[in-house]
């Protein structure tokens, strides 16, 4: 049986996926984004890695997942469908619980570490 070892993000040898936010979700801008999934459990339900985005705003729907975020750089604003806004900056950690719907706006280019738990 292979031993299980911690995964150090700074030494992970995973190529990032570069993309532009799909038009159907965009509210403003066309931000280029970089996604590096560093860890996925055997079920595919738990994901962790690093994500970056340029300035822009888009719709989000967390109907089937929770996300923990730790911002390494930048500033964002999350706005719920109810209009309530919450701002985060580099050094902040937060959780977006399952059920959140609204928008994600990048005010300053952002990089985050994330952990996503997909739910059935």
Q: Model confidence over 54-100: pLDDT tens digits?
A: 999 999 999 999 999 999 999 999 999 999 999 999 999 999 999 99
Q: Would you state the pLDDT for residue 1?
A: 64
Instruction: Give the gyration radius of the chain's Cα atoms.
Output: 15
CB 64 within 8 A of CB 118: yes
Q: Would you state the pLDDT for residue 120?
A: 85
Distances (CA, A) of 4 to 7, 18, 45: 9, 30, 18
Helices marked H in 1-120 — which ranges? none
How much is the pTM? Answer: 0.92
Q: Would you state the pLDDT for residue 49?
A: 97
Check whether 2 has a pLDDT greater than 80: no
The number of residues in the chain equals 120
Domain 17-118 of CATH type 2.60.120.10? yes
Where along the chain do its domains lie?
17-118
* DSSP per residue, 55-67: SEEEEEE-TTEEE
Q: Which residues contact 15 (CB under 8 A, 6 or more apart)?
A: 36
pLDDT per residue as tens digits for the range 3-33 = 888 999 988 888 999 999 899 999 999 999 9
The SS3 assignment for 104 reads strand
Average pLDDT (37-45) is: 95
Residue 20 pairs in a beta bridge with 32
């Amino acid at each position: 049986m292979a031993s299980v070892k911690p995964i150090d993000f700074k030494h992970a040898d995973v190529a990032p996926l570069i993309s532009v936010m799909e038009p159907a979700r965009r509210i403003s801008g066309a931000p280029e984004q970089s996604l590096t999934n560093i860890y996925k459990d055997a079920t595919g339900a738990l994901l962790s890695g690093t994500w970056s985005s340029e300035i822009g705003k888009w719709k989000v729907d967390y109907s089937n997942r929770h996300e923990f975020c730790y911002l390494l750089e930048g500033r964002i604003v999350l706005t719920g469908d109810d209009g309530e806004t919450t701002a985060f900056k580099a050094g902040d950690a937060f959780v977006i619980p399952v059920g959140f719907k609204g928008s994600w706006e990048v005010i300053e280019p952002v990089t985050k570490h994330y952990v996503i738990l997909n739910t059935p």
